[in-house]
Structure 1
Amino acid sequence: MRIRMDWRSVTFDWNRARAFLVTAEEGSLSAAARALKLAQPTLGRQVEALEAELGVALFERTGRGLRLTPAGHDLLDHARVMGEGGRALSRAAWGQTEAIEGDVAISASDAYAGYLLPPILERLHRSEPRIRVEIVVSNDLSDLSRREADIAVRNVRPSEPDLIARRVRDAQARLFAAPAYLDRLGRPADAAGFSAAEFIEIDAAGSLMGLLNARGLTLTPENFPYRCRNFTVTWEMVRRGLGIGILDDRIGDADPSVERAVPGFAPVDFPVWIVAHRDIARSRRLRVVFDALVEGFGG
């Protein structure tokens, strides 16, 4: 279906187009309203106003939410191009200042945000006190193109062409436990002696159990009475002697309340990347923070 209109007669409202775009991507008015931080009736009126303005129905209402009409499908790609253009304009305007001041959002995992990032931020604040930092704590990848953050600390190399990245180090994750817990186990001398130990799983897929069994342990789900995706919570559980957990050894080795567990266990190697949008080249403020993170995490 092709839509022909005289665009000179249209008074265009980007807010309405954005409402349509986000509703189409989220699949419902309620989800789109949450994403845009709007009241659902307000968002609904914006979508209805765009439909009236264009003279076409963009959505069909179904029992499970909304479904794009053929006209909606035709217009969705155009709305996406406009959305990306708007984000590019925002990024360009955000980065034009040469002053080393203003807001910078850094995305990092809970463990890195809680244990490794604070001393880096302390040094940064002493040298650049006019920079205000927001910490976006997430164990998922923040979308830098959509400005969920300005800079991210990641453990995977980005594949998006509009991002730049610096690999700052190859980190190692090791198994740690509280001394009292290892005492209760009798401090086994090798991996085989940990067959009755308790571990803290990191996800519902049993990733840690699979990793440990591939490295010589013989564990079953009964060895994992706890599961937690939040590494800072996991770490507190380890410190209190609930079981054995895995974490970056820079964090574990710096904590006197725990020690390395499972003698002979080979560490798990993983990279640390500092990632930002290419528009960072336009902003001294972002470059300063990026460089501080490269130095801090690479040291």
Structure 2
Amino acid sequence: MDQLDWNQLRAFLHTAEAGSLSEAARRLGLTQPTLSRQVAAIEKRLGVSLFERIGRSLQPTSTGLALLEHARSMGAAAQELSLAASGHAQAVDGVVSISASDMVAACLLPAVLQTLAERAPGLRIEVVTTNSLSDLRRREADIALRHVRPSEPELIGRLLREASASFYASKDWIRRHGHPRRAEEAAALRFVGSDRSGRYLDYLRAHGLPVGEHNFCAYAENATTAWALVRQGLGIGAMMDEVAASCPDVQRVLDEVPPVRFPIWLLTHRELHTARRIRLVFDLLAEALASPAVLSPSGRQP
């Protein structure tokens, strides 16, 4: 088989990442019919279907996903070659997307991104705030911060550290209701929950708290919102200890319940890590988040 035409491969890559021919054509400065012909040509050359239509979008087939990783690697290499040829190999610019939970995004990332802006002013960072596990294989993000060990073999990850979380209430709530310390006291307390499906209830029970649905006064899936409800005095909630330490209006309760320990993993795709801009952001995040942050009362690193 002849070598693949780079223009055809690039058409496939941008269509896969954009999810539509029209958007990919706009990004490449081509007409949609021209781009469509290039995609059809690479499918004919390979003898496979690379896309399937789902609703109004195009999604790579399993064969397309396998080819996509190689196309991204070639795209990153082409960009590096272009930079070197133009004498700007050390220039780092472009967009890097980082996926993180809402609380990590709000409290831990801002100071890191400020440092990054000073080191590489040409970079533009997109923060993808989500409490779900972003699928790096489909480029929902270039880099992800997760609290579970990665299972995908095509990802590379670095365990930054173990963090801890405990139960907290506002000082005003404690003045009104007392300071509960033992797990069995939870049966008579009000909590701010994260969902109505029973997942958070199971989480509390797994940590020895004898609670039921009647113990919840409010729910908020968004952790930043749930924490605001706790600080307002609605009830007890769990929070990362280093974040809670920056809030003078809250205090740890249920002190005899051991803190929850959880990992902080930094992940990227094996192929993406070869891109200079992603490698720079990955290494800086690893350096900055490897130890507990010292946050100001506003929730930001001083």
TM over 0.5: yes
Cα deviation 1:164-221 (Å, max 9, x = unaligned): 1110100111111111112221223422223221112223332332232233321110
- Does residue 259 in structure 1 map to residue 251 in structure 2? yes
The correspondence of residues 60-75 of structure 1 with structure 2, limited to 5 A, is none
Take 2:159 and 2:137, find their aligned partners in 1: how far apart are those partners? 19
Counterpart contact for 1:21–1:76, Cα < 8 Å: no
**2:137 alignment partner, SS class:** coil
Contact 1:194 1:217 in 2 (8 A): yes
Percent identical residues = 36
Moved segments of 4+, more than 6 Å: 12-22
Residue among 102, 106, 130 paired with 1:110: 102
Match of 1:181 in 2: 173
Residue aligning to 1:25: none
Q: Is the 8 A contact 2:102 2:129 kept in 1?
A: yes
Q: How does 1:237-276 map onto structure 2 within 5 Å? A: 237-276=229-268
The 2-side partners of 1:19 and 1:91 are apart by: 13
1:50-104 superposed Cα distances (whole Å, 9 cap, x missing partner): 7xx98xxx9xxxxxx89xxxxxxxx955444444444444444456554342122
Cα distance change of structure 1 residues 86 and 283 upon mapping to structure 2, 3 Å threshold: closer
Distance in structure 2 (CA, Å) of the matches to 1:287 and 1:16:
25
The TM-score, its normalising length taken from structure 2, stands at: 0.71
TM-score (norm 1): 0.72
- Contact between 2:142 and 2:269, CA under 8 Å: does it hold in 1? yes
Partner in structure 1 of residue 86 of structure 2: none
SS, match of residue 129 in structure 1: coil
TM-superposed CA distance for 1:17, in Å, is 7.7
Aligned to 1:206: 198
Q: Distance in 1 between matches of 2:219 and 2:187?
A: 18
Kindly tell me: are residues 169 and 37 of structure 1, through their superposed partners in 2, closer, same or farther at Cα, counting changes over 3 Å? same
Q: 1:224 aligned to 2:216? A: yes
Write out per-residue CA displacement over residues 263-290 of structure 1, whole angstroms, 9 at most, x where no aligned residue.
2111111100111122344333222211
Bigger Rg, which one: 1
Q: Does the CA-based 8 Å contact 1:106-1:150 persist in structure 2?
A: yes
Number of positions where the alignment pairs a residue of Structure 1 with one of Structure 2: 262
- Contiguous gaps of at least 5 residues in structure 1: 1-11, 23-31, 59-64, 67-74
Q: Which runs of 5+ in 2 are unaligned?
A: 1-6, 26-31, 50-54, 84-88, 292-302
- Against the structure 1 CA distance between its residues 21 and 144, is the aligned structure 2 distance closer, same or farther, given a 3 Å change threshold? closer
**2:135 aligns to what?**
143
| 1:163 has 2:155 as partner | yes
Matched AA of 1:99: Q
| 1:216–1:90 distance in 2 versus 1, CA, 3 Å | same
In structure 2, C-alpha distance between the alignment counterparts of 1:182 and 1:20, rounded to whole Å: 56
Give matches, 1:87-102, under 5 Å. 87-93=72-78, 97=83, 98-102=89-93
**Structure 1 Cα separation of the partners of residues 258 and 210 of structure 2:** 15
Q: Which moved more, 1:164-173 or 1:250-259?
A: 250-259
Aligned position for 1:120: 112
Q: Does 1:197 align with 2:186?
A: no
CA RMSD of aligned residues (A): 3.9
